[in-house]
Amino acid sequence: MESSPSVNRNDETFTLTNSVEEVRTGRFMNRGSEKEAAVAVVLPTYCEAENIESLIRRIQGLGLDLIIVVIDDSSPDGTAKIVKKLQKEEFDNIILFVRPTKLGLGTAITTGFQLILSLKNQPDYIITMDADYSHNPRDIPKLLGMAKRGYDLVIGSRYCPGGKISGWHRVRWLISRVANLIASMSIGMRIHDCTSGLRCYSKRYVKSVLNDLHSQTYEIQIETVRQAQLQGFRVKEIPITFVNRERGKSKLTRTEIEGFLSYIIRTGLGMTSFVSGLGSKSHVEKDC
């Protein structure tokens, strides 16, 4: 287990005393050996040892010009060790950022964004996806295709026409549907799936909203949609099939569900003008 935050790239590990701040302020940025790529794929990981290697291989197999950024919270199952081995032996396009402890999905994603924006060669598009195979790497080119048509946030959607979920218990489906309904009403946007983790963001969106993202955990997915709405970015959903994880366990705990609900409620209360449709700046395509 790592004792302090560290970035590992191309078999070099840099211990960061001040976490992302140090990444942002240059040491990481000026290494020079950085690989240029059009796309970054951010994989937040906590105990994904059973999934991470084959997922990375599948992403690499897409043949796209990409880098993979793994944000691991010192997973006790050795996820980071597997990633380091892949870096060392096979792939020079993987960046691994190890945080000292489990700090939540929300901050893992914003750490990924900060890290990517600190690179000398910043990719134009940033994909985020779960590292448990719920999201199919083959959807990445579809998301990118839509982003290139001028959308700053493309959501891989389970609930727009054509979207599907496989392997979820009815109760989990119901909780997710209700959460999405409340979230989209609170934000004031007609989005079927505000909580999906499979996304493509444009660099200009990430640059613009990063300082406004404060989520610790799963509410990051809603906060990013809300920021798109507030700052007038174009949002689009495309249908995906979400498959419940077959290996490893969900990290969605009761505390995280509470944090998520509390965010939805706070957002809803503070955004009544959006519920009534006033002040809406962002543009969402109606079809899927």
Ligand X SMILES: Nc1nc2c(ncn2[C@@H]2O[C@H](COP(=O)(O)OP(=O)(O)O)[C@@H](O)[C@H]2O)c(=O)[nH]1
Residues 33, 11 contacting (CB under 8 angstroms): no
d(CA 176, CA 221): 13
Least distance (Å) between residue 98 CB and ligand X: 9
Report the residue number, 206 or 230, with the smaller CB distance to ligand X: 206
Q: Is 131 an interacting residue with respect to ligand X (CB under 6 A)?
A: yes
Residues 110, 220 contacting (CB under 8 angstroms): yes
d(CA 212, CA 209): 5
The CA angle 215-217-219, to the nearest 5 degrees, is: 65
Residues 279, 238 contacting (CB under 8 angstroms): no
Q: Which of residues 99-158 bind Mg ion (CB under 5 A)?
A: 130, 132, 134
Least distance (Å) between residue 197 CB and Mg ion: 8
Least distance (Å) between residue 45 CB and ligand X: 5
Q: Is 22 an interacting residue with respect to ligand X (CB under 6 A)?
A: no
Q: Among 9-17, 70-78, 200-208, 260-268, which window interacts with ligand X (CB under 6 A)?
A: 70-78
Q: Kindly write out the interface string for residues 46-65 of this chain, putting x where it contacts ligand X by CB under 6 A and - elsewhere.
A: x-x-----------------
Least distance (Å) between residue 100 CB and ligand X: 11
Which H or E run includes 171? helix 170-187
DSSP string, 46-101: SS-TTTHHHHHHHHHTT--SEEEEEEE---TT-HHHHHHHHHHHT-SSEEEEE-SS
- Among candidate residues 101, 38, 111, 36, the one with its CA nearest the CA of residue 69: 111
Least distance (Å) between residue 245 CB and ligand X: 6
Q: Is 45 an interacting residue with respect to ligand X (CB under 6 A)?
A: yes
Q: Is 175 an interacting residue with respect to ligand X (CB under 6 A)?
A: no
State CA 286 to chain mean position distance: 24
At 136 the three-state DSSP class reads: coil
- Among candidate residues 53, 44, 112, 118, the one with its CA nearest the CA of residue 85: 53
Q: Is 80 an interacting residue with respect to ligand X (CB under 6 A)?
A: no
Q: Is 250 an interacting residue with respect to ligand X (CB under 6 A)?
A: yes
Report the residue number, 253 or 272, with the smaller CB distance to ligand X: 253
Q: Is 86 an interacting residue with respect to ligand X (CB under 6 A)?
A: no
Which H or E run includes 220? helix 220-231
Q: Is 104 an interacting residue with respect to ligand X (CB under 6 A)?
A: yes
Least distance (Å) between residue 130 CB and ligand X: 4
| Amino acid making up residue 288 | C
Q: Is 102 an interacting residue with respect to ligand X (CB under 6 A)?
A: yes
Q: Is 108 an interacting residue with respect to ligand X (CB under 6 A)?
A: yes
Q: Among 11-19, 33-41, 185-193, 243-251, which window interacts with ligand X (CB under 6 A)?
A: 243-251
Least distance (Å) between residue 256 CB and Mg ion: 12
Tally Cβ neighbours within 10 Å of residue 73. Answer: 26
How many residues line the site for Mg ion (CB under 5 A)?
4
Choose, by CB under 6 A, the member of 83, 140, 251, 263 that binds ligand X.
251
Query: Can you give the binding site for ligand X, defined by CB under 6 A?
Result: 44-46, 48, 71-73, 102-105, 108, 130-132, 134, 197, 245, 250-252
